[in-house]
């Protein structure tokens, strides 16, 4: 009986999951032709178009939901094999202070602005974490920890990715205009603000390979802070829960995939793992994230999203402005060079 139930669930997942994978493949191929935009952003935009025009069938929902939730979790886990604690030292103490201050300002700024604009607490927290840490992956880790709604998660991920795309195409030129040939400052601006790893790489690539290398140091530091952010957000969100709800949960203090991320990060930091582990984890994690983003796009009700267009636009512009102004101010105060 249990085997039959499992088989039925698997069959229900296949159509939506297969469609999500297909959209991800197309997005990856288009990303090769349009590296300035990237496969991840193309995946969610293509998913929105296809999901709202052609693929509205209810039978796809189970598979796209699986791709949206589970694959983002697996992507977070695999990120642990792509980062190490040792890389932080290459930035120096000013670099660390910059990252911590920037993340703190973005988290508080995005949360307070979101609440002021009428967004729910969970929506504001996801926006804060997604922009402060690592975009879709961070939101995928934060959402279940704070009990966020799937539809709202999709909306916030879409907003974060659209904001990240705009910043990715403009920040490299702003960095050159403000900091000139100062490699570390330009790298800190990109690595400390852009939302996803792909956006950091794509944005820094518009300058040079050295900028990509240093920008990733700042980005990696933000990713390592994911565990702290998720744990803090979960505890913050629990303050509005009833004692009954809290008692009923009885689970790990942090989500399993965040704990797994931390364990793999520790292993990668203190054990000499083969390069194959790092490259494979990076590639697989990228595919999982792109497929999840495709599923999010396929599930997003664009009509409902646009009904809140003005509010979402203000939120995105506001958070982007907070990130950029804070970064420029901190880099100037810390004399990072």
Burial level of 25, CB count in 10 A (0-12/13-18/19+)? middle
Euclidean distance between CA atoms 192 and 217, whole angstroms: 9
Number of domains in the chain: 1
Question: Does residue 25 fall inside a structural domain?
Answer: no
- Domain contains 49: no
Tokens standing for residue 263 = 């364990």
**242 φ, ψ to 5°?**
-75, 160
Map residue 252 onto helix, strand or coil: coil
Orientation of helix 275-299 relative to helix 256-270, angle to 10°: 160
Determine the pLDDT at residue 73: 76
Cα radius of gyration (the chain): 19
Burial label, 119 (beta-carbon count in 10 A; 0-12, 13-18, 19+): buried
The three-point CA angle 86-92-95 to 5° equals 105
Please say whether the dihedral angle defined by the alpha carbons of residues 89, 80, 255 and 168, taken in this order, is positive or negative: positive
**Quick check: 265 and 224 in contact, CB under 8 A?**
yes
Dihedral of CA atoms 259, 261, 266, 269 in degrees, nearest 10, equals: -170
Could you give the residue ranges of the DSSP H alpha helices within the chain? 2-33, 39-53, 61-79, 92-116, 121-132, 135-146, 150-179, 183-191, 197-205, 209-224, 226-238, 243-249, 256-270, 275-299, 302-307, 309-334
Task: Taking the CA atoms of 211, 79, 196 and 178 in sequence, report the sign of the dihedral they define.
Answer: negative
Q: Can you give the three-state secondary structure of 72-97, one letter per residue?
A: HHHHHHHHCCCCCCHHHHHHHHHHHH
Is residue 316 in a domain?
Answer: yes
φ, ψ of residue 260 in degrees (nearest 5): -65, -40
Q: What is the pLDDT of residue 5?
A: 67
Structure tokens at 331: 């880099």
227 assigned to some structural domain: yes
Instruction: Show the domain range for 224.
Output: 85-278+303-334
Domain assignment of residue 164, yes or no: yes
Contact 196, 40 (CB under 8 A): yes
> Rounded to whole angstroms, how far apart are CA atoms 128 and 86?
27
The one-digit pLDDT tens for each residue of the chain (337 residues) are 455 666 777 788 888 888 889 999 999 899 888 876 778 778 888 888 888 888 878 788 888 888 877 887 787 788 778 777 666 666 778 888 999 999 999 999 999 999 999 999 999 999 999 999 988 878 888 888 888 888 888 888 888 878 887 888 789 889 999 998 888 899 999 999 998 776 787 678 678 767 877 887 788 788 888 888 988 898 888 876 643 344 334 445 456 776 787 788 888 888 877 777 777 887 887 788 888 878 878 877 777 666 667 888 899 999 999 999 999 999 999 987 6
Query: Hey, what are 292's tokens?
Result: 């999840």
């Amino acid at each position: 009986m249990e085997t039959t139930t499992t088989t039925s669930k698997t069959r229900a997942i296949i159509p939506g999951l297969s469609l999500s994978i297909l959209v991800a493949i197309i997005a990856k191929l288009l990303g090769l032709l349009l590296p300035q935009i990237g496969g991840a952003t193309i995946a969610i935009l293509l998913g929105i178009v296809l999901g709202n025009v052609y693929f509205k069938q209810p039978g796809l929902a189970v598979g796209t939901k699986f791709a949206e939730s589970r694959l983002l979790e697996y992507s977070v886990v695999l990120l642990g094999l792509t980062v190490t604690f040792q890389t932080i030292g290459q930035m120096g103490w000013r670099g660390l202070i910059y990252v911590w201050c920037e993340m703190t300002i973005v988290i508080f700024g995005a949360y307070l602005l979101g609440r002021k604009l009428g967004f729910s607490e969970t929506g504001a927290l996801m926006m804060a974490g997604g922009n402060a840490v690592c975009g879709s992956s961070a939101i995928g880790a934060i959402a279940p920890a704070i009990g966020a709604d799937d539809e709202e998660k999709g909306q916030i991920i879409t907003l974060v990715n659209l904001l990240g795309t705009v910043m990715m195409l403009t920040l490299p030129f702003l960095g050159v205009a403000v900091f000139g040939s100062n490699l570390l400052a330009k790298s800190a601006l990109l690595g400390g603000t852009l939302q996803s790893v792909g956006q950091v790489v794509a944005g820094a690539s518009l300058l040079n390979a050295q900028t990509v290398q240093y920008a990733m140091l700042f980005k990696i530091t933000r990713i390592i802070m994911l565990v702290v952010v998720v744990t803090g957000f979960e505890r913050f969100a629990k303050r509005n829960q009833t004692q009954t709800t809290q008692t009923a949960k009885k689970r790990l203090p942090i989500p399993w995939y965040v704990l797994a991320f931390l364990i793999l990060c520790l292993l990668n930091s203190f054990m000499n793992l083969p390069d194959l582990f790092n490259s494979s984890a990076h590639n697989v994690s990228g595919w999982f994230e792109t497929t999840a983003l495709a599923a999010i796009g396929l599930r997003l009700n664009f009509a409902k999203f646009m009904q809140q267009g003005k509010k979402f636009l203000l939120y995105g512009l506001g958070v982007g402005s907070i990130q950029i102004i804070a970064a420029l101010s901190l880099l100037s105060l810390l004399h990072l060079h």
